[in-house]
Structure 1
Amino acid sequence: MIYTCTLNPSIDYIMHVDGFEAGELNRAERTFYYPGGKGINVSRVMGRLGVETKALGFLGGFTGAFVKEALEAENVSHDFIDTKQNTRVNVKLKSQGESEINGPGPEISEILQETLLTQIRSMDENDTLVLAGSVPSSLPSDFYVTVVGICAENRTKVVADTSGKALEQLIGLPLFLLKPNHHELGELFDVTIDSKELAAEYGKKLLDKGVEHVIVSMGGEGAVYVGKESVRYANVPKGVLKNSVGAGDSVVSGFLSALHHGKPEEEAFRYGVASGSATAFQDDLCQQEDVEKLLPEIKLTTIK
């Protein structure tokens, strides 16, 4: 089973406002409500790509109930821990630019933390756990380190898509897949990553530190895959950027889904890039037909 873990889920409330003016009454032309959080995004996209997952993490209150109902409507399995506190709401304002206001997360007690760790201890070598997103301030800053330690003991594969201190702490631990963007990769090594060659060079350093697969996303400049057998660059197709939220999560989803369906690593990388691009061109996360339509536009080249 593939599990996703979202420590601080949300409802993402998307508001489209034509000509937003600060300090004035503004009316939204269109609004959308989605279950939010990087791990939840991975579960939603993988479900659309034909792979069953189970979403884990912390939810509560009437907002948490909405997230559960939305996932159930998409047939996404879940086993969230009830915090008895309302899950946060994040507002995404789309007008001349894109602005975000993220609500505060809940306080996660030691009892709730231990309940999640107990769930993770039940996983084995046949399972994969996707750790996606930041570690909330109410949890120990090294919480992901604890989780990866448990998974290492049980030989559970770990996929990590996080940033900052949480990412830095994971370097040197056994990871199946790590997906930093080029800024995050540069911060790890105190360098500027401004080319696919540099992305490949420093991606290889992550392999030396125990990571099995590395995907470095570079926004509109494409992406780089570093594995034990090959180093590849993928372009991104042309399209109108509508949605920056969830594109990186979709790369992870596409890659894992293709591997699950028996595709080789390079084809899985291509599928991941197509999935991320498909989400970037939608108001919500991608559907399988969106991904399949873009696949022919994704070309791989070898980086030496």
Structure 2
Amino acid sequence: MIYTVTLNPSIDYIVHVDDLKLGDLNRMTADFKLPGGKGINVSRILKRINAESTALGFLGGFTGTFISDWLTREKIQTNFTPVGEDTRINIKLKSDEETEINGLGPTVSNEEMQNLKQILSTVQADDIVVLSGSTPASLRKGFYEELIQIVKEKKTDFIIDTTGADLLNALPQEPLLVKPNNHELAELFNVEFQTIEDILPFGERLLTNGAKHAIISMAGDGALLFTPTGIYQSNVLKRPLKNSVGAGDSMIAGFVGTFAKNNDPIEAFKWGIACGSATAFSDDLATADLINELISEVVVEQIR
């Protein structure tokens, strides 16, 4: 089983406004609400590629009910930890430019943290745990490390998709996959990249520091896969870009859903590219039909 952990889920409220005028009355031209949170996105894409998962994390209030009901309708297994405060709402304002206003998230008590850790402690050695996204401000520092320790004690593989200190601290624990984009990788090591060649030593450093595989996404330049036996680059699929939210999560879903079946990182990378691209070309997360259409277009070449 694949378990996804989302510590700070959200309702993503997408609002379209033509010719936004700050300080004035604006009227929406369209709006819709979606379940948000990186691990939840992973679970939703896994369902589309016929890989089962169980979504874990903190949910509370009427906003949490909206998310759990949505996942139930999509026939995704869940085992969320209830919290006393409402799950946050993030506003995604789409006008001439895209503006995001993200909520802080609920206050999570020590008891609620312990309840989540208890649920996670039931994982087995042949499972994979995906830890994704930001943490509520109320969570104590190093909570990701506490979760990783539980996973390691169970001899379970894990993927972590976060940035900064949480990512650096996770590397010695040998994650199955890490997936910073090129900007996050540069920030992680306090460097600047001018070319793809500049990226390669720092992608390799992720493996030297403990990661088993690393994907570096590079927007219009495709993505790089770092493995113990070589470095690979994908092509860039061409369609009108509609949506940047969830593309990275979809890439992780494509990778882990495929890797869990065949243990082949190259094939898993191809499915990651197809899933991530399909979401970028969609208003919501990718559909199964578009993923299956794109997979035949993905080309991966070894570059070192």
Question: Which TM-score band (shorter chain)?
Answer: over 0.9
Is the Cα contact below 8 Å between 1:58 and 1:80 reproduced in 2? yes
With 20-29 and 45-54 compared, the bigger mean Cα shift is at 20-29
Partner of 1:243: 243
* Alignment gaps of 5+ in structure 1: none
SS in 2 for 1:245: coil
State yes or no: 1:148 paired with 2:148.
Answer: yes
In the alignment, the residues of structure 2 paired with residue 255 and residue 42 of structure 1 have an alpha-carbon distance, to the nearest angstrom, of 10
Return closer, same or farther for 1:171/1:265 CA change in 2, 3 Å cut-off.
Answer: closer
In the alignment, the residues of structure 2 paired with residue 261 and residue 121 of structure 1 have an alpha-carbon distance, to the nearest angstrom, of 23
**Shift of residue 263, structure 1, vs aligned partner:** 6.5
Partner of 2:166: 166
1:195-239 CA distances to partner (integer Å, 9 max, x unpaired)?
Answer: 333333211111112111110111111100001122100122122
Partner of 1:94: 94
Partner of 1:200: 200
**Shift of residue 186, structure 1, vs aligned partner:** 1.5
Is the Cα contact below 8 Å between 1:197 and 1:303 reproduced in 2? no
Is the Cα contact below 8 Å between 2:104 and 2:137 reproduced in 1? no
**Shift of residue 135, structure 1, vs aligned partner:** 2.1
**Structure 1 residue ranges (4+ consecutive) displaced by more than 3 angstroms after TM superposition:** none
Is the Cα contact below 8 Å between 1:12 and 1:90 reproduced in 2? yes
SS in 2 for 1:172: helix
Partner of 1:189: 189
In the alignment, the residues of structure 2 paired with residue 84 and residue 209 of structure 1 have an alpha-carbon distance, to the nearest angstrom, of 38
With 227-236 and 154-163 compared, the bigger mean Cα shift is at 227-236
CA RMSD, 1 decimal: 1.3
Partner of 2:233: 233
Is the Cα contact below 8 Å between 1:200 and 1:303 reproduced in 2? no
With 227-236 and 93-102 compared, the bigger mean Cα shift is at 227-236
Partner of 1:302: 302
In the alignment, the residues of structure 2 paired with residue 240 and residue 152 of structure 1 have an alpha-carbon distance, to the nearest angstrom, of 42
1:263-288 CA distances to partner (integer Å, 9 max, x unpaired)?
Answer: 72212101101111110111100012
In the alignment, the residues of structure 2 paired with residue 193 and residue 275 of structure 1 have an alpha-carbon distance, to the nearest angstrom, of 26
Partner of 1:216: 216
With 257-266 and 71-80 compared, the bigger mean Cα shift is at 257-266
1:78-128 CA distances to partner (integer Å, 9 max, x unpaired)?
Answer: 111111211111110101010011122111111011111111222121111
Is the Cα contact below 8 Å between 2:46 and 2:254 reproduced in 1? yes
In the alignment, the residues of structure 1 paired with residue 123 and residue 257 of structure 2 have an alpha-carbon distance, to the nearest angstrom, of 19
**Shift of residue 171, structure 1, vs aligned partner:** 2.6
In the alignment, the residues of structure 1 paired with residue 96 and residue 235 of structure 2 have an alpha-carbon distance, to the nearest angstrom, of 27
For 1:143, the aligned partner's letter is: F
Partner of 1:277: 277
For 1:161, the aligned partner's letter is: D
* Alignment gaps of 5+ in structure 2: none
SS in 2 for 1:261: helix
With 277-286 and 251-260 compared, the bigger mean Cα shift is at 251-260
In the alignment, the residues of structure 1 paired with residue 97 and residue 240 of structure 2 have an alpha-carbon distance, to the nearest angstrom, of 14
In the alignment, the residues of structure 1 paired with residue 151 and residue 104 of structure 2 have an alpha-carbon distance, to the nearest angstrom, of 29
Partner of 2:59: 59
TM-score normalised by L of structure 1? 0.96
In the alignment, the residues of structure 2 paired with residue 8 and residue 248 of structure 1 have an alpha-carbon distance, to the nearest angstrom, of 17
Q: How does 1:100-111 map to 2 (within 5 A)?
A: 100-111=100-111
Is the Cα contact below 8 Å between 1:152 and 1:174 reproduced in 2? no
